[in-house]
Amino acid sequence: MIRKAIIPAAGLGTRFLPATKAQPKEMLPIIDTPVIQHVVQEAIDSGIEDILIISGRGKRAIEDHFDRNSDLELQLSGAENEAALNEIRRISDLANIHFVRQKEIRGLGDAIYHARMHAAGEPFVVLLGDTIVDSAIPATQQLIDVFDQYRCSVIGVEQVPVETVSRYGIVAGVRMSDRIHEVDQLVEKPHPESSPSDLAIAGRYILTPDIFKAIEKTAPDNTGEIQLTDALRLVLKRERIISCTIEGTRYDIGNKLDYLKTMVDYGLKRKEFAAAFRAYLASKVGNQQEDKDA
C-alpha cells in the first residue's frame, strides 16, 4: 500500500526568470491555482494524504500557501467573501504536508535522498512539483494500480517525438501490454540517434526504499548533480522496474510554451468564462489569418 508522496520543489526555475527571481516556479498560477497545488491535489485524489515537499532557498511561499493565514481569513469573513474564505481554508486542510530543505541544488537524486527519513522504509510516490498531468484517473493512481500488481518500482512515461528525446530521461524494455514495459534500459537525455526508445519519464514515479542506497552510490554527473535516472540504473541491477505509459496530458511548467498551453487548456475548461475565452481565441486566430491573406 502506498501511503506517502514526495514532491521535489527545490529547483531554481531559471527558465522563467525574471518571474521566478522572488517566487518559486511551483507557485506560478494556472489561472488562480498554483502549479504545486494541482500536484498536491493529484496525490490526494489518489488516496495519499501524507506528503513531503522538498523545498529550497527562496521557496518559503510554498510553505505559506499551504499554511493557515488568520489575517486573510479575518478579512474575508464577511458573507460576500464566503467562497474565497472556504477555498483558502480548504487549501490549508488538504493533507498532512511536511517540508524539508535541500540546502544545495545537487539534482533530483539528491532531492529524493532528503526524503529517506520520511519514507521510513516504505515505497512511496514521487511527483515533480513543476509537472501537471490532466487525466480522468489521476496519474499517481494509475501508477499505484500498476505497483499493486507488480510490487516493484514503477516509472510513469509518455511517448514523445524522437527529435525531443534529448530533453528527457528515456526508458526502454520488454513490452508486456499496450501501456506496460519491463524496463531494461534507462538513459538520461540521449541523442536522438542513439536513444533506445521514445518513452520519456513523465515526472511520476513509485520508488522502493532501495533507491536510497542506490543514490548513495551514484556519482554526480558533469554538472555536479546526482541524477535520479542514474540511481535507477543501479536499482535495476537488483530489482525489477516497470514503466507505465500514463493516460492523460502532461504539462511541463518549466517550459514556457507548455505553460502557455496549460493556461489555454485550463482556461477553456473553466465554465465561468470558457465561452468568452474561446470566442476571444477564435477572433485572434481569425485576425491572424486575415493578416496573412491580405
Q: Each residue of 115-131: b (16+ CB within 10 Å) or e?
A: bbebbeeebbbbbbbbb
Q: Which residues contact 23 (CB under 8 A, 6 or more apart)?
A: 58, 61
Q: What is the CATH number of the domain that holds 231?
A: 3.90.550.10
Q: How many folded domains does the chain comprise?
A: 2
User: What is the Rg, in whole angstroms, of the alpha carbon atoms belonging to the chain?
Assistant: 20
Domain match, 274 and 146 both = no
3-state secondary structure of 27: helix
Quick one: pLDDT at residue 284? 87
Tens digit of each residue's pLDDT, the chain (294 residues):
899 999 999 888 888 889 888 889 999 999 999 999 999 999 999 999 899 999 988 889 999 999 888 888 888 887 678 888 888 888 888 888 999 998 888 899 999 999 999 999 999 999 999 999 999 999 999 999 999 999 999 999 999 999 999 989 999 999 999 999 999 999 989 999 999 999 999 999 999 999 999 999 999 988 889 999 999 999 999 999 999 999 999 998 888 999 999 999 999 999 999 999 999 999 988 766 555 655
CB 45 within 8 A of CB 142: no
Domain match, 167 and 224 both = yes
Domain match, 269 and 158 both = no
3-state secondary structure of 17: coil
List the beta bridge partners of residue 188: 169
Residue range of the domain that includes 122: 4-253
Quick one: pLDDT at residue 290? 57
Domain match, 187 and 66 both = yes
Domain match, 39 and 78 both = yes
* Euclidean distance between CA atoms 99 and 112, whole angstroms: 13
Quick one: pLDDT at residue 86? 85
Domain match, 246 and 269 both = no
Domain match, 173 and 273 both = no
Domain match, 150 and 291 both = no
Domain match, 179 and 293 both = no
Diameter over CA atoms, the chain: 66
Domain match, 211 and 277 both = no
Domain match, 161 and 100 both = yes
Domain match, 179 and 211 both = yes
* Euclidean distance between CA atoms 34 and 44, whole angstroms: 16
